[in-house]
Amino acid sequence: MSYTQNIKNEIANNFYGTSESLSELSAIVNYSSIIYENYFVISTENLSVARRIYKLVKNLYHIDIDMDSDNINNLNKSRIIEIKIVQKNDLILKDLSIIKEDERNYVPDNFIIDNDEDKHAYLRGAFLVCGSINDPKTSRYHLEFVISNKKSAYFLNDLLLELNFNSKVLKREKKYMVYIKESEKISDFIKLLNAYNNLFYFEDIRIYRDHKNMTNRLNNCEQANVEKIINSSNEQLKLIEKLKKVKDFDLLDDKIKEICIYREKYKDSSLSELAEIITYETGNKITKSGINHRFRKIKELLKDE
């Protein structure tokens, strides 16, 4: 069973008040129904979602409902469950703001998303029928809704942006994909769905991956720092070698001789470490910038050579 199916199974068992149920069902019908002259059909491949839709319609409108699971999705060979609404179909479609003034309404009226709870419910309904979230253990962080109608897609995106989910819309063939990539925002969305078991799973993996990435970054920084120290030391050793070839070492300034002796003795030390060693062994305090100053002096000595 996929991670998305686990989330849908979990939230399909949660039920809310009348207002939120209307908002959720409005999204479900908007994003997954086909409307005919005397009835409409809601389709899903998830049995838990089908049962939830059945209960929502039954509890809100007290009608008889037909369910059919004979059709097969040719792409993935999964069974398609169709929920057919015949009784009160006009009333239900108008009540859910799917039909307005006898025309298809792809953007619901404000009463459907009157407050934050209703907005959350609407997003839950949309996720149940057209949303998916990648398993964080097996792939990159990604949440998406695949939607056929452009107006419906941009409305959903605007709703997500209003709730600070940083979503975007992408045209994909004949459909639209509304998606979120940020792991923190996806985590917040799973929390909005009230899918807490799957939220804990997501967060456990996110923490592990973030820790692993941080460790890798620290290792990379450490490696880069070691390479920088080695390269710097090699350049200084070449300067010292050249200095000894063109100058009488014994006649050089004591400070220049001192830095040459210590750099050759402690080849792998950074300038900060070298400054501490010289300060400790000679009793004369020197800093990293002081060592740099002495090597600039060496370069000046070699300038005309």
Return the domain boundaries, the chain. Answer: 3-194, 230-302
Contacts 24+ apart (CB under 8 A), 269-276: 269/229, 269/233, 270/229, 271/232
pLDDT digits (tens, 9 = 90+) for 157-210: 999 999 999 999 999 888 999 999 999 999 999 999 999 999 999 988 888 877
Q: In this predicted structure, what is the pLDDT of residue 243?
A: 83
Say what the pLDDT of residue 15 is: 85
Burial of 303 from C-beta contacts in 10 A (0-12 / 13-18 / 19+): exposed
What pLDDT score does 220 carry? 77
Average pLDDT over residues 221-236: 82
Asked whether the whole model's pTM tops 0.75, one would answer: no
Mean pLDDT, residues 111-138? 94
Q: What percent of the chain has pLDDT over 70?
A: 96
Fold of domain 3-194? Endonuclease I-creI (3.10.28)
Q: Check whether 47 has a pLDDT greater than 80.
A: yes
- pLDDT range class, residue 79, cuts 50, 70, 90: confident
| CA 250/CA 263 separation, integer angstroms | 17
Q: What is the pLDDT of residue 76?
A: 58
Distance CA 161, CA 168 (A): 9
Q: What is the distance between the alpha carbons of residues 146 and 169, in angstroms, rounded to a whole number?
A: 10
Please report which confidence band the pLDDT of residue 266 belongs to, taking 50, 70 and 90 as the band edges. Answer: confident
